[in-house]
Amino acid sequence: MEQNLNQPNVQLILNGDSQEFSKLVDNYKNLVFTVALRMLKNTEEAEEVAQDTFIKVFKSIKSFKGDSKFSTWIYRITYNTCLDRLKKVKKAQMISSFDEMSGMEVADLRTVLDVIEEEEKSKLLKKCMELLSPNDSALLSFFYFEEKNLKELSKILNLSENTVKVRLFRARERLGCILKERLNPETIRNYG
């Protein structure tokens, strides 16, 4: 492979030459940051992605074959790192909004359920939980009655904690809909 003046000497970097890697970073930092900023539209996020990109470049430089320009290879890594960050941010936003919504839903349901006597409440919950799918019913039972936390549920269900969180939110939402259908309409009007 013929060494282009703009391309770093990959072999020197592979041999541990930190000055050559520093030269690589200096040559491509503007490209990486510009791409990240355009995609993420946030300076701090772009800076973090730029750092992550160069870490990935360092870890995977031995896979650079030289059949494309080095800048193209780095651009691809930057683009993929930005996509990963966007997915992560979007997922975190969804989960936090799920948490906020589920907290409000549960608070609303608790307010309404406080009006119902304890015995009626227990019967109503049992009947409503029977109307849920077996998965939703089991998940809510584990979480509320068995007092399993997300980490424990994650191990029990062999799912990630985030997946458990989302499924728990959806199960609560479905239970909330069933409870609203079953509650006395007058009670809902008084607390709605």
Q: Please list the pLDDT of the chain residue by residue as tens digits (192 residues).
A: 444 555 677 777 777 777 888 888 898 999 899 888 887 778 998 899 999 999 998 888 888 877 767 877 888 888 888 888 888 877 666 665 555 555 555 555 555 555 555 667 667 777 887 788 777 877 787 787 767 788 877 877 778 989 989 999 998 899 888 888 877 654 554 444
The confidence score (pLDDT) of residue 107 equals: 52
The confidence score (pLDDT) of residue 3 equals: 46
The confidence score (pLDDT) of residue 129 equals: 77
Q: What are the two backbone dihedrals, phi and then psi, of residue 54, each rounded to the nearest 5 degrees?
A: -70, -30
Tokens of 129: 């939980």
Closest-CA residue to 158 (of 135, 125, 132, 137): 135
CATH of the domain spanning 116-191: 1.10.10.10
The confidence score (pLDDT) of residue 94 equals: 60
pTM higher than 0.75: no
Tokens of 152: 């424990």
10-88 maps to CATH 3.20.20.150: no
Query: Do residues 167 and 100 make contact, with C-beta atoms less than 8 angstroms apart?
Result: no
Distances (CA, A) of 175 to 64, 101, 166: 53, 14, 14
Query: Do residues 118 and 125 make contact, with C-beta atoms less than 8 angstroms apart?
Result: no
Q: Enumerate the domain spans of the chain.
A: 10-88, 116-191
